[in-house]
């Protein structure tokens, strides 16, 4: 059972690193915002693995939900693509 949890945590860590690199290299703000939401959801899964469900629920609600909504609203008011 411990090896399964370790394997799952390793896989999620790789997804977090790849997602962070994609966000950093992206010039499309929508991709960056959605990538940030995915990273926040993966972080909430990590908190569930660490047996902290209250922190996981808060991370999912605030990190993925509220923050993504605010960033999408700000992107709508400004612009989608970064200027070169």
Domain assignment present for 43? yes
Residue 27 has what pLDDT? 84
Domain assignment present for 83? no
Residues 6+ apart with CB under 8 A from 84: 27
Decide if 61 contacts 53 (C-beta within 8 A). no
Domain assignment present for 19? yes
Look at 73 and 83; give whichever has higher pLDDT.
Answer: 73
pTM reported for the whole predicted model? 0.80
Q: For residue 59, how many other CB atoms are within 10 A of its CB?
A: 21
Residue 64 has what pLDDT? 85
Domain assignment present for 42? yes
Q: Domain total for the chain?
A: 1
Domain assignment present for 84? no
Domain assignment present for 68? yes
Q: Helices 67-77 and 29-49 meet at what angle, rounded to 10?
A: 180
Could you list the residue range(s) of the whole structural domain that residue 45 is in? 2-77
Tens digits of per-residue pLDDT, 22-77? 999 988 888 889 999 999 999 898 888 888 899 999 988 998 889 999 999 998 88
Whether residue 78 is predicted with pLDDT greater than 90 in this model: the reply is no
């Amino acid at each position: 059972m411990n090896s399964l949890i370790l394997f799952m945590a390793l896989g999620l860590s790789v997804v977090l690193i790849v997602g962070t690199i994609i966000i950093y290299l992206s010039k499309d703000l929508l991709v960056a915002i959605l990538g940030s939401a995915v990273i926040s959801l993966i972080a909430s899964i990590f908190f569930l693995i660490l047996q902290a469900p209250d922190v996981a629920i808060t991370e999912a609600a605030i990190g993925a939900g509220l923050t993504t909504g605010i960033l999408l609203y700000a992107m709508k008011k400004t612009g989608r693509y970064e200027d070169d």
